[in-house]
Amino acid sequence: MNTAVLHLPSIILLFLFLLTPPARAADLALTPAIECTPRSGLPNLLAKLNTKNAEVRIAYLGGSITAQEGWRPKSLAYFQKSYPNAKITQINAAIGGTGSDLGVYRVKQDVLDHKPDLLFVEFAVNDGGQSPEMIYKCMEGIVRQTWRTLPDCDICFVYTITDTLIQPLYEGKMQRSASAMEKIADHYGIPSIHMAVEVARLAKEGKLLLKAKKPTTDEEKAKLGEKILFAPDGVHPYPETGHELYLQAILRSLPKIRSASGAPAPHALKPPFTPANYEDAKLIPIVQAKLSAGFHKLDPATDTLAKRFNTRPPTLYRANNPGETITFRFKGRSAAIYDLLAPDAGQVIVTVDDRPPVTRPRFDGFSTYARLGTLALASNLPDAIHTVKIEIHKDPPDKANILAQRNEKMDDPKRFDDTAFYPGAILLIGDLLPD
């Protein structure tokens, strides 16, 4: 709440309250920490699971917690064991370090094109720093894209936690990101499972350590006693403990979800919760933009990075000469680039329409290795035609200083000595226009 508002006369406060839409007035309140809210259940999935010889695909869209060999393969194994007459496979669409702001763009390519019957969505941790408004847009965009393309696909939101986000759970509330996601779940009748409610209870009672290394000596083991170790870093659970707690939350929730599930039927799209949601998010191969001559496509057969990231973006290009450019026009409201942050990456100059150029590094404190990233270009634009130019900057960012902020160092300066840019796709809320 803006504390300055408290000094306004009462009549103005009343006027502001009356102008506030009811759905938004509740945004300031955190949602009660309920482990499972079944809502409309998973009727289509359950019907198909009980159909002999049915092919059932379960998709997992999330971040690094889902990418781990943890709750994802554990829950898949549960379904496979519980429904032996169905052929159950997974669609692993988890990418570490990414949230719903990338998930909404890649859900078609990474999930919907593979025709899932159930979509788990896990972004509460990586959306921890996002505004509720952005979470509404992205999570609703995922839901609406899914049901517009595959109306028989059921969806379940699942929420995870970190040691820095857990405090509201101690107080009986969900963290802000999960609370925002619950608004979308409520609006569409999507079941949700907060997999960390039991984790928080055990931690609050002193029975679980959120962040601790495994003991290596008898003395350390004795000191630990019967306490459960949740995660080595407070984020990524140990498979045999933290992820097992996550699995048990799912197993406790499924009977409630099953009881709430009615007859199977296609999901109808109701009017949106947020009219400006990202239902029309698109992921477009970067080759459809105009690339200057210095950009070249990386071949997965010969290039380690292209092979490692496979088709996520659909293609991967590289240039490292200052002055190399990418330009494109689009009609819409938002634009970004799906690219890599890497040790040898530099920075780029972004110009949108006639706005002043902005320099954006493609290197951060985690860039001792290459990973997928999102280069934001512009958002909340008028729904009109816009022109974008991205140019490789002649100067690299101060990489040593950036790494020092996380107590990291350059192991081999040669690995960091370049100004590369690795674009793979354009992320648009709108449509790409021809040159």
Q: How many CB atoms lie within 10 A of CB 216?
A: 8
Nearest CA-CA partner of 159 in 81, 26, 63, 228: 63
The correct answer on CATH 2.60.120.560 for the domain covering 281-433 is no
Listed in sequence order, the DSSP H helices in 261-372 are: 304-309
* pLDDT at residue number 23: 41
Nearest CA-CA partner of 272 in 144, 411, 177, 91: 144
Q: What's the helix, strand, coil split of the chain in %, to 5?
A: 35, 25, 40
Percent of the chain with pLDDT over 90: 91
Q: How do residues 350-394 score in pLDDT, each as one tens digit?
A: 999 999 999 999 999 999 999 999 999 999 999 999 999 999 999
Domains 19-260 and 281-433 fall in the same CATH topology: no
Going from N- to C-terminal start, the domains of the chain cover: 19-260, 281-433
Higher pLDDT, 309 or 14: 309
What CA–CA distances, in Å, run from 77 to 81, 87, 90, 185, 247? Answer: 6, 12, 10, 26, 11
Q: How do residues 123-178 score in pLDDT, each as one tens digit?
A: 999 999 999 999 999 999 999 999 999 999 999 999 999 999 999 999 999 999 99
The gap from C-alpha 187 to its chain's centroid, in whole angstroms, comes to: 20
Mean pLDDT for 34-42 is: 98
Buried (b) or exposed (e) across 353-380, using 16+ Cβ within 10 A?
eeeeeeeebbbbeebbebbbbbbebbee
Q: How do residues 312-360 score in pLDDT, each as one tens digit?
A: 898 999 999 999 999 999 999 999 999 999 999 999 999 999 999 999 9
**In the predicted structure, residue 27 carries a pLDDT above the cut 70:** no
CA 59 – CA 109 distance, rounded (Å):
12
CATH of domain 19-260: 3.40.50.1110
pTM value?
0.89
* pLDDT at residue number 9: 33
CA 432 – CA 291 distance, rounded (Å):
15
Going by C-beta distance under 8 Å and a sequence separation of 6 or more, which residues neighbour residue 218? none
Higher pLDDT, 16 or 21: 21
* pLDDT at residue number 425: 97
Nearest CA-CA partner of 244 in 77, 57, 93, 60: 77
**In the predicted structure, residue 288 carries a pLDDT above the cut 70:** yes
Confidence of residue 228 (pLDDT cuts 50, 70, 90): very high
Confidence of residue 24 (pLDDT cuts 50, 70, 90): very low
Mean pLDDT for 226-237 is: 97
* pLDDT at residue number 302: 95
Going by C-beta distance under 8 Å and a sequence separation of 6 or more, which residues neighbour residue 21? none
Under a CB-based contact definition with an 8 Å cutoff, are residues 178 and 31 in contact? Answer: yes
Helix (H, G, I), strand (E, B) or coil at 340: strand
* pLDDT at residue number 310: 82
Buried (b) or exposed (e) across 16-52, using 16+ Cβ within 10 A?
eeeeeeeeeeebeebbebebbbbbbbbbbbbbbbeee
Confidence of residue 20 (pLDDT cuts 50, 70, 90): very low
For the chain, give the number of residues. Answer: 435
Higher pLDDT, 354 or 2: 354
Under a CB-based contact definition with an 8 Å cutoff, are residues 338 and 316 in contact? Answer: no
